[in-house]
Amino acid sequence: MSNSKKQPPLFRVGDWVSLVYGRGRVLAQVVEDRGPLGVSRQRLYRIRLDRDPSEAGTFEVREEYLEAATKPEKNGPGAAPK
């Protein structure tokens, strides 16, 4: 048996996170907590990039590569006025 305590997840489904993607940081939203997987028990999250909806892309990222972020403000047509 392991003496280490289970670490609670840092993020929940719906949380906004940022991560390095390409040459810079991007915003993404957590769509699934995959839990601690594999031999090393790394927690994985499925995230969706905050990009054009026609380019919907989801992929899995280890928790250590994510940082908490705030929901992006949409200033395009139909956005709520400030």
The residue ranges of every structural domain in the chain are 16-68
Judge whether 48 and 41 are in contact, CB under 8 Å: no
**Distant-in-sequence, close-in-space partners of 18: CB < 8 Å, separation ≥ 6:** 25, 26, 27, 28, 66, 67, 68, 69
Q: pLDDT at position 66, please?
A: 96
* Whether pLDDT at 13 is above 70: yes
What confidence tens digit (pLDDT) does each residue in 14-70 have?
Answer: 999 999 988 999 999 999 999 888 778 899 999 998 666 666 689 999 999 999 999
- Position with higher pLDDT, 78 vs 48: 48
Sign of the four-CA dihedral 15, 19, 25, 31: negative
